[in-house]
Structure 1
Amino acid sequence: MMKKLQITAQQIMQAALNIAAEKGAGKVTLDAVAKASGLSKGGLLYHFPSKEALISAMVQHLLDDAEKNRCSLAESESSVLVSLLKARRVFTQAVAGNTAMAILAAAAEHPTLLQPIQQHNKKVLAEVLSDPATELETMLLMLASEGLIFQELLSISPFSEAQKTTLEQYMINRAQELTT
């Protein structure tokens, strides 16, 4: 077991993400995170002075991972839109639904915690809307991608895995056609 002084904010946040993934949104409490990370509640509060601060860090962590993946894909893709759609496909495969739902559910209690996501989405939209001739279809592809993600997160998707894969590939192919 790690010494308490050596536990970092990143490790605490990872403990919170693990709780969310394994047990769901309602189980991400300061007491549970402190216990999972091997800290006292006071030790946890030293790093994250409130549950909102922890949730904010978790939101930022998801955004940073998604953006890192998108930027990596952008180096080899024909357009920002294609890299965005591929990154979102990877996101839904990589992030456990309970993790994202826990973060979103907790952040929904404090809508200001969702502002980084909103700002990120506005920035990405501005990047992909480079050609006025394809603007409407670009926005529709982004919206369809978001819809698939949220249906997955909420466990309400009517699509089979094969159908989702087909839809995602269609969106990527269509985005590639828009750039040629």
Structure 2
Amino acid sequence: MAPHNPAQRDLLLDAAETVAAREGVARLTFDAVAAEAGVSKGGLLHYFSSKEQLIEAMVQRSADGWRNCFMTGYAEAPEGPGRMLRGILNHCCMDARNWTDGLRRSYSAIFAALAQNSELVQPMRDVYDELYGLIRNDGLPDHVAEIVMAAIDGLWFYWVMRLRPVDQEALDRLRCTLERIVALAVEKPETFDVQITTPPPSADA
């Protein structure tokens, strides 16, 4: 059997993402992907022996891309508290032109995985575990880091889902606001002390 060609494998994954994004996961078939890629079905089967294997590879590639994004940001950010969050904001949330249709299309893999078998999303779960491990050791109050990441993930989600557009102005507003929150959490962490109280039981309880 001929060895796998990484460039050809990426071409096939591109085709699978295109089919899933354009036609929906129900139409993500080997025939459709092979036609989109301009290869024979046998050529596709040489790389992926099942639909689940194809979707898992799509998810893994998306997960690797996200890991590369936040780890590059982490490496570029100055050391100190909030380094991981500062890195994500500066590297991943700086330029709206980097939020491309191809990047949005790559996340069709996640929806394909959820529709096919939720266990196939595990590579992305693993990457988020890595990310949150770094954030927990980032020197900021835990709930501050959670709020900042929830805001970033929220913006990302409604962009991927085409619920709202994300332009440079929107991205700048979010980034600048979150940068101020991180800076304040570094300088005055006591500002974010939270007392969690349990509401009294309702009269109907």
The TM-score bracket by the shorter chain reads 0.7 to 0.9
In structure 1, the residue matched to 2:56 is 56
Size of the aligned set, in residue pairs, is 175
Larger RCO (alpha carbons 8 Å, 6+ apart): 1
TM-score under structure 2 normalisation?
0.71
From the superposition, tell whether residues 13 and 163 of structure 1 become closer, same or farther in structure 2 (CA, over 3 Å).
Answer: closer
* Structure having the higher Rg: 2
1:70-89 to structure 2, matched below 5 A, reads 70-78=70-78, 79-89=83-93
Tell me by how many angstroms 1:14 deviates.
2.2
Aligned-partner SS, 1:163: helix
> Map of 1:46-125 to 2, 5 A cutoff?
46-78=46-78, 79-89=83-93, 93-94=99-100, 96=102, 99-109=105-115, 110-125=117-132
How far 1:140 moved relative to its partner? Answer: 0.8
Give per-residue Cα distances to partners, 1:90-116, cap 9 Å, x unaligned.
Answer: 697135475145212211121011111
CA distance in 2, matches of 1:101, 1:72: 20
For the aligned residues, what is the CA RMSD?
2.9
**Equivalent in 131, 135, 148 of residue 128 of structure 1:** 135
Query: Displacement of 1:149 after TM fit?
Result: 0.8
The amino acid of 1:85's aligned partner reads: L
Q: SS state of the match for residue 156, structure 1?
A: coil
The TM-score normalised by the length of structure 1 is 0.79
Structure-2 separation of matches of 1:94 and 1:67:
17
- Name stretches of at least 5 consecutive residues in structure 2 with no aligned partner: 188-205
Q: Distance in 1 between the 2:122 and 2:49 partners?
A: 19
